[in-house]
Amino acid sequence: MPTTASLLEAGQNGLPLTLIEQSDYDTWLAARSPSTQRWLKSSGFKAPGHALLPGDDGELAEVVLVVKDRTAPWLLGDLVNRLPAGRYALADDDQDVLQRCALSWLLGAYRFDRYKQNAAPNTTLVIDDEALVDRVRHLAEGTALVRDLVNTPAADMMPENLARTAADLADRFGGQFSEIVGDDLLTQNYPAVHAVGRAATHAPRLLDLRWGDDSQPKLTLVGKGVCFDSGGLDIKPGGAMRWMKKDMGGAAHVLGLAQLIMAMNLPVRLRVLIPAVENAIAGDAFRPGDILNTRKGLTVEVDNTDAEGRLVLCDALAEAETDTPDLLIDFATLTGAARVALGTELPAFFTGSHELAGALSDAGLAADDPVWRLPLHEPYEDFLKSDIADLVNCPTTPMGGAITAALYLKRFVDASHWVHFDVMAFNNRALPGRPSGGEAMGMRAVFEWLERRYR
C-alpha cells in the first residue's frame, strides 16, 4: 500500500474535486458554462456518480462527484481507485464531511501486497487542514495495521510474530514490552493459556505492552491472539478452518487501537495484554473432558476444544484486573453466533454498564463505525454449570452462543468497567473503502469514545 503521506496531503494545490448533493445538481449544472453542460450531456453522465471535466485546452480540469447524501461515509472509497493519476483538492465548509471523505479515500486505497504486487492508485487528495490530515492519517494507519495482521497467513503470523509487532510498537512510541513464553506460563500462573497452546511447535506466550504516564487513568486492552485455530481435537471441518488465520483478529484490533492511542498521545496509562497461541493437534493437546485451572483460581471443564478463545482470554482478563483499570476492553473473534445474530459486518459488544453502552453506541455512530450491544442475560449462566468443575467452557446448547461466551468471560472481570467485543475482523465482500479481507471493526468507535472520555 502506498504510504498515507503520499495519498493525503495538507494544502490547496490540486485539481478541484467538487462534491455535490444530488438534490442540488440541477442548480449547479445550470450555473456552469454551456460547454460543460454539453460535455456532461454528450458523455451520458447520470447522477449520482462522478465525471471528469476537461478545460479549454483539453486537459483534465475538474472532477465532479454527485452523491445522494454528502454527509454519508465512504464517499471517496471507490473514487480513489477510479481517478487518473494526479492531485485533487477537496474543499468543504463541513469538517465532518472532509474527514469522512479523507478517511474513505485512504481506506479505499489499501492494498495487501506482501506476497503479490497489486496495482495501487497514484492519486493524492489535498485538503487545506493540516490537523485534519494528521488525524485521518493516524486513523488509516491503525486500520491498515489491523488489516495487514489479519491478512497475513498463519505461517508468517504465529505468536512470535505478534510479539515482534507489539515490541516494535513499544520501541516506536517509547513504551515497554515483555512476554512470558512456553512453560514459564505455568510457573507464573497462566495455566489456561499454556493448555491451549502447548501442542503447537510455536510456543504459547502472553504479550504485555505498557505505555504512558502512571498518573493517568488506566486503560487496559486484551486481544485474543489465536494465530491459527484447527479446533484442536474437536477439529473443524475444512470449510470452517479455511479462514482461521483471522482468529488472531482480536489481537490485531488491540494492536491497531494501541498504535492509534499512542500516535494521538491520548492521556492514559495504557496496557495491552495478548494471549498468543496456536490451537494445534498433537499428542499433548488438551482434550474434551479435561479440567483446566485458570489464573483466577476457577476450574473449567472443557466441553469442546474449539471454544479455546475464551480459555486464553480468561487468564489475560484476570491479570488485567490486578491493575484495577478504569476501563478494560477486550476484542475477540469469539463466536459464530454473533455473526448469526448481527451478520458479518456489524460487531457485537457486551458490558455490564448501561452508561458505557450508551456512550459507546453514540461514538460508533459519530465515527461511522457502528456497533451493537447484546445482552449479558444472566439466566443463561445456568448453561455454564459443571458437575465437576466451577464452570464449563461452552454449553451443550447451540442457542445464544455469543451471550454464553460473554457470560463466561464475565466470571473473570468486574463487568461495570468492562467491554467485550465479538468481531468478525474480516470483510466477506468488497465495498467502497472496505476491500475484502482483514478489517478493523469497532476500533474507530472505541477510539472516538476514548477521546470523548479522556480528552
In this structure, the answer to whether residues 248 and 334 fall within a common structural domain is yes
In this structure, the answer to whether residues 418 and 346 fall within a common structural domain is yes
In this structure, the answer to whether residues 252 and 287 fall within a common structural domain is yes
- 64 inside domain: yes
- 436 inside domain: yes
452 among known catalytic residues: no
Q: Where in the sequence is the domain holding 333, given as residue range(s)?
A: 141-454
In this structure, the answer to whether residues 88 and 229 fall within a common structural domain is no
Number of other CB atoms surrounding residue 56 within 10 Å: 8
In this structure, the answer to whether residues 120 and 152 fall within a common structural domain is no
In this structure, the answer to whether residues 111 and 214 fall within a common structural domain is no
Domain boundary among 77, 106, 128: 128
In this structure, the answer to whether residues 166 and 47 fall within a common structural domain is no
Enter the C-alpha cell of residue 65. Answer: 462527484
In this structure, the answer to whether residues 114 and 154 fall within a common structural domain is no
| DSSP code of residue 210 | E
- 134 inside domain: no
- 135 inside domain: no
Is residue 362 classed as helix, strand or coil in its secondary structure?
helix
Q: How many domains does one find in the chain?
A: 2
Domain boundary among 128, 163, 198: 128
Q: Residue 299 is part of a domain; what is its CATH number?
A: 3.40.630.10
* Residue-wise pLDDT tens digits, 271-308: 999 999 999 999 999 999 999 999 999 999 999 999 99
Domain boundary among 128, 158, 186: 128
Check 137, 205, 310, 410 and give the catalytic one: 310
| Phi/psi of residue 228, nearest 5 degrees | -155, 140
Q: State which amino acid sits at residue 73.
A: P
In this structure, the answer to whether residues 8 and 153 fall within a common structural domain is no
Q: Residue 14 is part of a domain; what is its CATH number?
A: 3.40.220.10
The pTM for the full model equals: 0.97
Specify the pLDDT at position 4: 75
Listed as ranges, residues in the chain with pLDDT below 50 are 1
Check 32, 236, 296, 453 and give the catalytic one: 236
339 among known catalytic residues: no
In this structure, the answer to whether residues 53 and 175 fall within a common structural domain is no
- 133 inside domain: no
In this structure, the answer to whether residues 113 and 151 fall within a common structural domain is no
Specify the pLDDT at position 2: 56
From the list 374, 255, 384, the residue with the least C-alpha distance to 314 is: 384
Distance, in Å, from the CA atom of 203 to the CA atom of 159, rounded to the nearest integer, reads 7
| Continuous segment of H or E residues that includes residue 132 | helix 130-151
